[in-house]
Amino acid sequence: MGIQAQEDALFQEWRAARPRFVADGAVDEDAYSSSERRILFMLKEVNDPEGGDWDLRQFIKDGGRSYTWNNITRWIEGIRNLSIDIPWKDLEQVDNERRAKALRSVAAVNLKKSPGSHTSDPSEIAVIAEQDKAFLNRQVSLYQADLIICCGVSDTFHWLVAFDRPPEWRQTSRGIAYHEYRPGKFVVAYAHPEARVADSILYYGLIDAIREIAA
């Protein structure tokens, strides 16, 4: 059974326990599975306060929107080209077509499957994610990701998701925290793509860290 079939079977169970469920995961199963480096982005929740009952995978496959996904697009392009020092002028402008092309190859998972507002409530996210902990662990295990990038959610993610062994945290030379959760597979604690930091700093900070981690 492929990744999407396993996702959909899991989500059928999960929806029964979680109203306004927003599905997420591998954007394009074939592109994800064939990637040289499988990348999973962990996020908080979708911004849709009055909505829900839709599929983030399709939304991202169609290019998403500039908020959040422009920076993630840049990050993907950098991670896929670690041997190249891409100048910011070649990264700054991101359109829908560019997002759709880059985002197809990754998975994106929210800790909280019901939607929230632009300003996330950490306590609400923690409570709901705790209720859904067993489902979340099953979902994360589907992806066998080479890189799990926690986008501002590392503490909650590690509280909820079980690993084969306790994380042995390390730091890159510039202070980015990470651990090797399986041989050759890493979890990186990083900022949210909408963090109040210059987009260029977020980009080069992450790519610098991944180069060191993957060396």
Instruction: Please state whether beta strands 22-23 and 54-55 pair in parallel, antiparallel, or not at all (unpaired).
Output: parallel
Domain total for the chain? 1
Tokens of 66: 């500039």
- Residues 213, 170 contacting (CB under 8 angstroms): no
Band (pLDDT 50/70/90 cuts) for residue 200 is very high
Instruction: State yes or no: pLDDT of 124 exceeds 90.
Output: no
Distance of alpha carbon 177 from alpha carbon 187, whole angstroms: 9
- At residue 120, the pLDDT reads 56
Instruction: State yes or no: pLDDT of 7 exceeds 60.
Output: yes
Quick one: the chain helix, strand, coil %, rounded to 5? 45, 15, 40
DSSP state of 153: -
Q: What is the CATH number for 112?
A: 3.40.470.10
Distance of alpha carbon 119 from alpha carbon 48, whole angstroms: 11
Which residues does residue 190 pair with via DSSP β-bridges, in sequence order? 151
Can you give the pTM of this predicted structure? 0.95
Distance of alpha carbon 211 from alpha carbon 140, whole angstroms: 24
The boundaries of the domain holding residue 26 are 3-214
Closest to 145 measured CA to CA, from 42, 57, 38? 38
Band (pLDDT 50/70/90 cuts) for residue 201 is very high
* Separation of first and last alpha carbons in the chain: 33
- Residues 92, 130 contacting (CB under 8 angstroms): no
Closest to 135 measured CA to CA, from 1, 20, 46, 21? 21
